[in-house]
Amino acid sequence: MFSRLAQRYDMVNDVMSFGMHRKWKREAVRLALNGRSRAALVLDLCCGTGDMSFLAETMGASGVIGADFTLPMLAVARSRGRKERSRASFAAADALRLPFRDGVFDAVTVGYGLRNIADPQQALSEIRRVLAPAGRVVVLDFGKPENPLARSLYFAYLKTMMPAVGWIFHGDPETYLYIPASLERYPAQRGVEHMMREAGFVNARYENRLLGTMGLNIGEAPGEPPPSPRAKRGISSESEKIPRPSASE
Ligand SMILES: C[S@@+](CC[C@H](N)C(=O)[O-])C[C@H]1O[C@@H](n2cnc3c(N)ncnc32)[C@H](O)[C@@H]1O
């Protein structure tokens, strides 16, 4: 599905969120770096066209790997990276079976990705595995407002707006109906907090944005941060050297 959206993905994001996704993504990356931009190695999982990967780099991460299993999204990310002279690398990877060693990342960001993963609990376990002790994960995604009125207005907005956007940008009103559909299934802020605890994260919590229509879930791997920079631990910064998972599109 995302293969079809790749070329117009960034423009449509701006339209759908009135540009506000940029601010939320910046906040997610800031929370993930947690004031520790120096020598932080960041995995941007479900990176899509690379928005949060580039943000992590400009916000000071010493190394960034964007990972996604949709090759056309990665192609856009790589092309943007070349234009922006970014050092971020991009790897084809399935969130359910990450091709990275245990404990190599200081932070993991997931922007609008967890909701789309077939088994979000398994993905959180994988994230937990690749995070270093005291490393942080931040999941940014659509949320579910607690207030019933706000919630029904919000779903009504999504169900009205999405067909219009799909029709305008792709000539197909059904293109973005996956968003409200996936959100119905998604456990959102409170459910993801619970899932993070199940996956072994500590200090799991969430922050709401825009009346809870957006959620930022934060969790930390247990333990003390290791003394030396993880960038020297032997992880390749070249996506070509990362073993390819059996990824589908
Ligand atoms: C809505 S896009 C988000 C892209 C980007 N993070 C952003 O916020 O703009 C969701 C992305 O999740 C990716 N995705 C979904 N399931 C995945 C999985 N199991 N492994 C890797 N990527 C996955 C899709 O390929 C898609 O690029």
pLDDT, tens only, 204-226: 999 999 999 999 999 999 998 76
d(CA 52, CA 45) in angstroms, rounded, equals 9
Q: How many CB atoms lie within 10 A of CB 47?
A: 29
Q: Could you tell me if the CB of 50 is within 6 A of ligand 1?
A: no
Q: What is the pLDDT of residues 102-131, one digit of tens each?
A: 999 999 999 999 999 999 999 999 999 999
Ligand 1 atom closest to residue 96's alpha carbon, by position in its atom list: 19
**Is any atom of ligand 1 closer than 6 Å to the C-beta of 138?**
no
- Assess whether the C-beta atom of 90 lies below 6 angstroms from ligand 1: no
pLDDT over threshold 60, residue 247: no
User: Measuring from atom 14 of ligand 1, which residue has the nearest CA?
Assistant: 46
Q: Residue 170, class by beta-carbon neighbours within 10 Å (0-12 exposed, 13-18 middle, 19+ buried)?
A: middle
For the Cβ of 69 lying below 6 angstroms from any atom of ligand 1, the answer is yes
Classify residue 119 as exposed, middle or buried by CB count within 10 Å of its CB (0-12, 13-18, 19+).
exposed
Q: 2-144+185-222 sits in which CATH class?
A: alpha beta
Distance between Cα 22 and ligand 1 center (Å): 16
Distance CA 159, CA 177 (A): 7
Distance 191 CA to ligand 1 centre (A): 19
Q: What is the mean pLDDT of the chain?
A: 88
When mean pLDDT is compared across 95-99, 185-189, 215-219, 237-241, the lowest value belongs to: 237-241
